[in-house]
Copies of this chain bind each other. A is one copy, B any other.
Amino acid sequence: MTNKTSPTIYDVARLAGVSIATVSRVLNDPHKVNEETRGVVLSAINRLGFVPKAEARARAMRSTGRIGVLTPFFTAPSFVQRLRGAAEALSRHNYELVIYTVNSSALLNTYLETLPIAHSLDGLIILSLQFSDSNAERLANQGLETVLVEYPHASLNSIEIDDIAGGRLAAEYLIQKGYTSFGFIGDTTIPEFGIHPITLRLSGFRHGLNAAGFDLSDENTLLVPYDMETTRQNGRAYLKRPGRPTAVFAATDLQATALLRAARDIGLKVPQELAILGFDDLDLADYVGLSTISQHLDESGRVAAELLLARLADPKRPVQHIQLPLTVITRETA
């Protein structure tokens, strides 16, 4: 970070041919300065467009609050949609939104230690970042209002969804649509600790199926790395097997879309020959006509921001864990 040359009190002093003390005085105690001198100084001030910075800043610091959002490097569409919701709410309340991207969970730790103090934030929204109890502890003690989105923690406010129920919902929807043979597709990355939403969705899906007398075979459960191309390739093989399912629930819209393309690759008609139901309701889902389970991403950001603002206004409010509903959005693939 480097200097930017905007005029200082020294520049004014030099131009006016007086000392900085005099300039300071005409700014703060004008009557203590000889009228003539004052005139000279004032015109120098005008000529340079000088603004005493400290004052401006002090004023600014008071007027606008700042809310920080901690997000994983926001390449993923879901973060964007959450951010969008938060940005909207915050700007409506005249708060500034400062974004911090956290690239590794090692960094997360040091961030949490100093960020709030060092950067004077009023509140913090943490998106889709999971952390240890000790970290949560620290945050809670720090006295900085915080709202967690996606990965809840008992001692902090959070916005969450019920992934198990989501899986069950998928099963119920597909069953009620008349399908009888089911599959699941999700990604492989298992986190070192904590919750894994994908696993939860799978488990809910399986239970929902079982509850209705159906089941999900291992062969029909495809776990592949979370990227379009890999999923698509594996998806083709998956769909070419004789025992392939006729309805599959994909744990995320991205993988659902990859599967949709795999189906098209091998000439399978969707949804006539293969039904696909996603999860998330990314903008993408609408763009490709994907039926999916909406977890109201934009809403999650909005609600997080509003909860934060509410707590800022009334710090005595108890910690809240808000659970967002899950909704099936029927489009063209299931």
Task: From known contacts A1-B94, A60-B118, A63-B118, infer whether A42 and B113 are also in contact, taking CB-CB under 8 Å.
Answer: yes
CB of A277 closer than 8 Å to a CB of B: no
A98 touches B101 (CB 8 A): no
Instruction: Evaluate contact between B88 and A84: CB separation under 8 angstroms.
Output: no
Which B residue sits closest to A311, measured CB to CB?
B4
Q: Which residues of B contact A173 (CB under 8 A)?
A: none
- A270–chain B nearest beta-carbon distance, Å: 10
> Are B284 and A120 in contact, with the CB atoms below 8 A?
no
On chain B, the residues within 8 Å of A91 by CB distance are 100-101
**Residue on B nearest A27 in the bound complex, by CB:** B118
A218 to B55, CA, bound (A): 60
A257 to B285, CA, bound (A): 12
Counting chain B CB atoms within 10 Å of each CB, the highest count among A28, A31, A55 belongs to A55
Enumerate A76-111 residues with CB–CB distance to B below 8 Å: 77, 80, 84, 87-88, 91, 93-101, 110
Determine if A272 is an interface residue (Cβ-Cβ < 8 Å).
no
Residue A132 is within 8 A (CB to CB) of chain B in the complex: no
When the two chains form their complex, are residues B52 and A117 in contact, meaning their CB atoms are under 8 A apart?
A: yes
Copies of this chain present: 2
Closest chain B residue to A314 by CB distance?
B2
A88→B71 CA distance, assembly (Å) = 12
User: Counting CB contacts under 8 A, is A241 at the interface?
Assistant: no
Minimum CB–CB distance from A35 to chain B (whole Å) comes to 10
Chain B CB within 8 A of A286 CB? yes
Question: Whole-angstrom distance from the CB of A183 to the nearest CB of chain B?
Answer: 21
Residues of B within 8 Å of A74, CB to CB, are: 84, 87
Q: Which residues in B have their C-beta under 8 angstroms from that of A75?
A: 84
Task: State the main secondary structure of chain A at its contact with B.
Answer: helix
Chain B minimum-CB-distance residue to A39: B113
Q: How far is the CA of A58 from the CA of B28 in the complex (A)?
A: 21
Beta-carbon nearest neighbor of A66 in chain B: B98
**Contact between B87 and A56, CB atoms less than 8 A apart:** no
A57, B25: Cα distance in complex, Å: 23
Tell me how far the C-beta of A174 lies from the nearest C-beta in chain B, rounded to whole angstroms. 23
Which A2-41 residues have a C-beta within 8 angstroms of B?
2-6, 26-28, 30-31, 38
Identify which of B26, B64, B99, B120 contacts A97 (C-beta below 8 A): B99
- Tell me if B289 and A120 are in contact (CB < 8 A): no
Across the interface, do A62 and B28 meet the contact criterion of CB distance under 8 Å?
no
* A317 close to chain B: CB less than 8 A: no
User: 8 closest Cβ contacts across the A-B interface?
Assistant: A1-B63, A30-B110, A27-B118, A3-B62, A56-B117, A2-B313, A97-B99, A60-B118
Q: Which residues of B contact A97 (CB under 8 A)?
A: 98-99
* CB < 8 Å neighbour of A4 from B26, B51, B63: B63
Give min CB distance, A26 to chain B, whole Å: 7
Q: Is A49 an interface residue (CB 8 A)?
A: yes
Q: Give the interface centre of A45, A118, A145, A288 by most chain B CB atoms within 10 Å.
A: A118
Does A131 touch B at the CB level, under 8 Å? Answer: no
Assess whether A87 is in contact with B114, with CB atoms less than 8 Å apart.
no
